[in-house]
Structure 1
Amino acid sequence: MRHDALQVSGLSTGYRDRQIIQSLSLPVFRPGEVHSLLGPNAAGKSTLLRALAGLQPATGSVKLGERELIGLSLAEHARRVTYMPQTLPQGVALSVLESVLGALQASATDHPGDVGGKAGHDADQRRAVAILERVGILHLALEGLDHLSGGQRQLVSLAQSLVREPRVLLLDEPISALDLQHQLRVMRLVQELARERGMIAIMVLHDLQIAARWSEGIVMLSQGAVVATGTPAQAITPDTLARVYGVQARVEHCSRGGLQIMVDDVLPGALPAGARR
């Protein structure tokens, strides 16, 4: 597997009636790293993720190694980049195992050396079972997707994304429906697999504490623009939290070296998150 960095420069994207992101450039995302996109509602986080995934038109440059991704067909884009949406589609009459196998078979072009026939099917089964076990939902393998809770469906979506073994994994709020234990399990798993596979993981998160603990890099967005980037300690500061979220906060180092973020109050005159002046 090639281990290429992801470079984003001069990226503009949006919708028919409104430009959300204009001429945005980001630090280099390197293989083996986990990065988090932070910011209030309507900051442009999910729009940026969808543009990186090739799911909506964009201009500028998104390079993986020397390969320009903007302009590729959706199929060619998906061979390199996998996108995990916030929720799975409803009304899908498949078992958990079948859905993960389907995701694997859809990415068969990523693995041209794979064998077909019964041997290939058995190999796919083993890969699907292995990722379900790693995600911690092997006991749900034969359950129908429509019988699962929101959190369980989110874990299935993660398994579908990971089984494809992408070079870039884009996760849109991957822990929003999970309890605290499963949030930590997912973050640990993504970090482990990024390092094992040389994969780049970029995720949208709302929990600043979790982002600070599990990310090598942070990108703080507000109204479609980058406010701060860098390590968690560089990007998550009282100043950036005041500018982006309109809150008064303290950021301290705990005894284990991580960041402790304490929000004390809303700043006077601060607009609701996502509001525009």
Structure 2
Amino acid sequence: MADDLLQVRDLSTGYHGREIIHKLVLPDIRAGEVHSLVGPNGAGKSTLMRALAGLQRATGSVKLGGRELIGLSLAEHARHITYMPQTLPQGVALTVLESVIGALRASPTGEDAGLGEKAIERRSLEVLQRVGITHLALNGLDQLSGGQRQLVSLAQSLVREPRVLLLDEPISALDLQHQLRVMQLVHELARERGMIALVVLHDLQAAARWSDGIVMFSKGAVVATGKPAEAITPHTLARVYGVRARTEHCSHGMLQIMVDGVLRPDEVPAA
């Protein structure tokens, strides 16, 4: 049903007078699903995320539950979509808990929804516990490592309980254990809340493991979409990344990607 769908059609956007994405169409994304955007640096993934979040001008159509979001104010966008950028702003003199409480207060699901101070603090602590950083609650943001700041940013996004969660490289600064915990948490919450999660990832193995669908990007255009094994293939890896690679399923049924080397320019397939 349309009520369950995020639909992107003919989306064009860019910056500084340069069009980065032209007439982009994405597969429909249903509530409860996690989809990953993958592709090389400069492919347009972050540009697309900012356009979907309403942070930069775009033309075309972005519908959520049949409602058109293009043209809405940033505040109206925020009622439906929460965007987690790659890094938190620097120089913010708040504790971790205060920053998560502030994110909830600024959300339509916070004070505007009638939550009192105790309820706001309780929900904020619950999210910190779910993310696994309760022990950092009273630490200042300026005392945190890059990975810890990334986890706080995730908590700030999750506490708002959005219908659509946009995550731009949420595991880039994390160690292996926290990468797994974050992706598992996003997967679980999407199912529990009926939330749509769209995640930019460079780690193709993580994308293959945790995603219901993959969108492979190159030069502002979609090269392949589908389930991980349909979108991540030797051919698409050669075309998009310029590498010689193999894919197979392990004994647990998970897609494995093995890269053997870099292709010469004349070996890269055109399509």
Match of 1:214 in 2: 210
What letter corresponds to residue 107 of structure 1 in structure 2?
S
The answer for the alignment partner of 1:239 in structure 2 is 235
The 5 A counterparts of 1:1-277 are: 4-108=4-108, 112-115=112-115, 120-269=116-265
Task: Note the C-alpha offset of 1:18.
Answer: 1.3
Amino acid at match of 2:46: S
Q: Contact 2:3/2:64 (CA < 8 Å) preserved in 1?
A: no
Give the letter aligned to residue 205 of structure 1.
Answer: L
Quick one: which amino acid aligns to residue 131 of structure 2? Answer: V
1:270 to partner: Cα distance: 6.7
Give the unaligned 5+ runs of structure 2.
none
Shift of 1:114: 2.1
Query: Normalising by the residue count of structure 1, what TM-score does the alignment of the two structures yield?
Result: 0.94
Distance 1:270 1:178 in 2: 36
Counterpart Cα distance in 1 of 2:127 and 2:3? 21
Partners in 2 of 1:80 and 1:113 — Cα distance? Answer: 14
Distance 1:122 1:230, change over 3 A: same
SS at match of 2:79: helix
Deviation digits for residues 31-58 of structure 1 (CA, Å, limit 9, x no counterpart): 0000000000100000001100000000
Deviation (angstroms), 1:66: 1.5
User: Match of 1:81, as an amino acid?
Assistant: I
* C-alpha RMSD over aligned residues: 1.6
Q: 1:225 to 1:271 in 2, by over 3 A?
A: farther
Query: Residue 133 and residue 110 in structure 1: after superposition, are their counterparts in 2 closer, same or farther (change >3 A)?
Result: closer
**Number of residue equivalences:** 267
How big is the shift at 1:4?
Answer: 2.8
Quick one: which amino acid aligns to residue 243 of structure 2?
A: V
How high is the sequence identity, in percent, across the aligned residues? 76
The DSSP-based 3-state class of the residue aligned with 1:102 is helix
Which string of whole-angstrom CA distances, capped at 9 and with x for unpartnered residues, describes residues 155-177 of structure 1? 00000000000000000000000
Gaps of 5+ in 1: 273-277
Shift of 1:22: 0.1
Mapped to 2, the partners of 1:21 and 1:102 lie a distance apart of: 33
SS of alignment partner, residue 35 of structure 2: strand
Amino acid at match of 2:218: S
| Structure 2: distance between partners of 1:111 and 1:143 | 24
Report the secondary structure of 1:54's partner residue.
coil
TM-score with structure 2 length normalisation? Answer: 0.96
